[in-house]
Structure 1
Amino acid sequence: MGFSPEHQSFPGTLSLSSELLIGIVAQLGAQLAGMGWQRLVLFNAHGGQIGLLQVAARELRQRCPHMAVLPCFLWSGVAGLDTLIPAGELMHGLHAGLGETSLMLQLAPDLVGTSRPVDGLASADVHQLPPPGWSLEGAAPCAWLTDDLSPSGVIGDSRDASVSLGSALEKRLVQHWSSLFDVLLRSSWPPSSQQADGTSAS
């Protein structure tokens, strides 16, 4: 469970408040730091709480400077996604779209229904989209609610979702994150032994 107010109008949605989620990260993170943990990865696959976990991570790092806190988002920075997912879907397929549905077909097919609602952005009137230059997620994002874009909750077009695409996505994601985590474990991050002026901490 996480921070999902954008989906609150849809039946079955449970969401934590921003204050509660930040508090949970702060309390558990501080306890882990007290046990001597050097690194804490907040690995997240829900786009609606990316910014919130970045705030929580920064606050926790300030409170526990000897522990690295890394707020990671599953789909961020993964090379080659544009060769697997069309550009429009890669930008706007934010919820139950092509990528997520294909990945679920690969990982947990029993949890994926057979219907493929296409009443989100795939069939959206241009007036439902942000003004030119603005985006749902990106350099100039808008704070959106799912109701702004879709009566079913689907944001994207999953009609071409497949196990084969899900398998290719899984491979790219695993390769990307395992490589990054390997680099992290081989590093000396965080630089807590040095003060901001470069002198050794006492």
Structure 2
Amino acid sequence: MMHGFIPSDRYFPYLSWTDIASMPDKENVVIVQPIGAIEQHGAHLPLAVDSAISVAVLGKALDQLDSNIPAYSLPPLYYGKSNEHWHFPGTITLSTQTLLAVLMEVAESIYRAGFRKLVFMNSHGGQPQILEIAARDLRQQYEDFAIFPLFTWRVPTVGAIAQELFTPKELKFGIHAGDVETSLLLSILPDHVKMERAKAEYPLGEPQSGVLSMEGALPFAWMTRDLSKSGVLGDPTTATREKGDRILTALVTGWVQVIEDVYQFSLPTAWKCK
């Protein structure tokens, strides 16, 4: 089945062109483009981690969403900008220019069909800036097009649960294939997690003093092999399905709220005021 985690009645490709042409109130219909990556996640996780997170969280959120709120998922964009991982076999990466062009052209197609609300739902940490650039350029081009460049993990429902479930060290350094992602994959795709291969590895070579850091307000550019031999940044050996279930619930709850808020959203129009 093409729709996978997405409810079939919320899957955009199952609509016909006449369904779309006759759809009422298209200006407020919420269209979501889930975006992930196909990239290494250590020896214990599949390449599809980020993509699986996007479609699973979105699918469950759409399933719980009020049926009176019109919202549809586009087909997942499985490939992303993953060049930080390209030294590890299996990683597939688009260039910045290619990903930007794909996002722009998908959005333009959605606009041409009459829709005016589009969410870029991204689960890969290597490309938020590209989505933000695309959103700004689309907003400049189409003054009545509301674009939301959102990161799956930033919904407010996750913070408190994460603080409860994961160590401060893991929350700071476990940014790739560590406890958080491994626990979530044990909830989403348990048959594709090989815990016997899980290996903890924290960043090697990161500055230990000063204001610069791997992530944060003052980052430096890095490639994954600069920091990790295994491709893991974190400790997946402590992952459990129970933790994954709780994180998934928090993400889904947050995304139900996001979609509701996007549905209610109106673009600010200060420039129209006299």
TM-score w.r.t. the length of structure 2 is 0.66
| Matched residue, 2:206 | 129
Per-residue CA deviation, residues 104-136 of structure 1 (Å, 9 max, x unaligned), is 000101111121122333xx4xxx113432222
3-state SS of paired residue (2:236): coil
Q: For structure 1, list consecutive stretches of 5 or more residues without a partner in the other structure.
A: none
Alignment of 1:66-145 (within 5 A): 66-78=144-156, 79-80=159-160, 81-114=162-195, 115-121=197-203, 124=204, 128-130=205-207, 131-145=209-223
2-structure distance, mates of 1:83, 1:62? 41
SS at match of 1:95: coil
**Counterpart in 2 of 1:56?**
134
RMSD across aligned C-alpha pairs, in angstroms?
1.6
- The answer for the alignment partner of 2:143 in structure 1 is 65
How far residue 184 of structure 1 moved from its aligned partner, in angstroms, is 2.0
The equivalent position to 2:123 in structure 1, one of 45, 50, 53, is: 45
Q: Secondary structure at the match of 1:48?
A: coil
Tell me, yes or no, if the aligned pair for 1:120 and 1:151 is still in contact at 8 Å. no
2:192 maps to a residue whose letter is L
Task: Indicate the SS of the match to 1:69.
Answer: strand
- Between the aligned residues of both structures, percent identity stands at 36
- Alignment match, 1:161: 239
1:46 aligned partner, one-letter code: H
Letter in 1 for 2:164: T
List alignment gaps of at least 5 residues for structure 2.
1-78
Residue identity in the other structure for 2:199: P
The 8 Å contact of residues 178 and 200 in structure 2, kept in 1 or not, is answered as no
Contact 1:30 1:64 in 2 (8 A): no
For the pair 1:32 / 2:110, whether they are aligned, the reply is yes
Return the TM-score normalized by structure 1. Answer: 0.88
Aligned partner letter, 1:96? A
CA distance in 2: counterparts of 1:132 and 1:104, whole angstroms: 35
Counterpart check, 1:196 vs 2:274: no
Q: Between Structure 1 and Structure 2, how many residues are aligned? A: 191
Q: Deviation per CA, 1:28-76, whole angstroms, max 9, x where unpaired?
A: 1111111111111110110011111111211122122211111111112
Q: Post-superposition shift, 1:196?
A: 2.5
CA distance in 1, matches of 2:149, 2:243: 26
Task: Give yes or no for contact 2:138–2:147 (8 Å, CA) kept in 1.
Answer: yes
Q: Give the letter for the 1:196 counterpart.
A: W
| Deviation, structure 1 residue 195 | 5.4
